[in-house]
Amino acid sequence: MTGQNGRIETYTHDGLTFDVRDSGPLDGDPVVLLHGFPERASCWDAVVPLLHEQGLRTLAPDQRGYSPGARPRRRRDYRTGHLAADVQALIDAVGRPVHLVGHDWGAAVAWLVAARSRDVRSLTAVSVPHPVAFQKAMLSSRQGLDSWYMYLFQLPLLPEALARPGGPLETFLRRGGMDDAALARFRREIVEYGALPGALGWYRAQFLGGGDAMPGGVTVRVPTTLVWSDGDVAIARKGVDLTPQFVHAPYALEVLEGVSHWIPTEEPERLAAAVLARIRSVGPETPEAPETPEAPEADR
């Protein structure tokens, strides 16, 4: 729903209603920002002012499972194809092509949207490599061990029980680099907000099958940057190194040394610089020229 100020405050798809943070110049080139687990659109709060300063409009949704109006209970409703279709519905609501940025699970979804949609002008994936590269790394490197928590999250109810204040889930997040402020935000915006079961649904749908991991092809054909940090305990280097073979367009890798997995909150300036460099490489959007009416036969 577009408010009186022209902002997209909510949008609907698949019978669900999604909340959106729409800010920056309304006439700026739009940038869609996709959060990961276990965060919401607020994870971009330190990044968006830096994009607004450069004349860009940002739209950051609370995705499926996170928005109160978009919390289906069935595991199959969190398959990747549904998550990507949610993002495409937001792009359709914007009404023009967008630059796409995603962190963590948001990056996994962004890869898929960029591979399928004609409405993505550039992609900046943060932390997570191309999904097929990630899958290959699971079988050929320590990535399988680093992803142990994905198997834990398959269990019913137990992960939710582990999310008590000061409990094992918070310990896991802290060891991965979350600071006190981020952990407080996790308690407030995920656990107390009732978003944790839906957030875990993204993991619980992973092994359902159905072939929707990368429907419509795997190759990304828009200019792409992958931002990865060598202090990331969840994402090993192997998938990062395999990613370029799945991008048939200008590609750049930005490695942030000494940075944890939580790049948008830990290094917003460096991330914004990478996003801006990728967007500038594409240039401003130019409106399509109107078609010239064909001259009558007698005038040729």
- Please give the chain's pLDDT, 300 residues, in tens: 777 788 999 999 999 999 999 999 999 999 999 999 999 999 999 999 999 999 999 999 999 999 999 999 999 999 999 999 999 999 999 999 999 999 999 999 999 999 999 999 999 999 999 999 999 999 999 999 999 999 999 999 999 999 999 999 999 999 999 999 999 999 999 999 999 999 999 999 998 865 455 544 689 999 999 999 999 999 999 999 999 999 999 999 999 999 999 999 999 999 999 999 999 999 888 755 444 444 444 433
Paired sense of beta strands 30-34 and 120-126, if any: unpaired
Helix (H, G, I), strand (E, B) or coil at 259: coil
Could you give the domains of the chain?
A: 10-283 (3.40.50.1820)
Candidates 247, 267, 251, 249; CA nearest to 259 is 267
Candidates 236, 231, 207, 228; CA nearest to 146 is 236
Other Cβ atoms closer than 10 A to 297 = 6
Task: State if pTM tops 0.85.
Answer: yes
Q: If you search the block for the tokens 């090993």, which residue do you land on?
A: 236
Peptide bond connecting 38 to the previous residue in cis, omega within 30 degrees of 0: yes
Distances (CA, A) of 158 to 76, 146, 197: 19, 20, 11
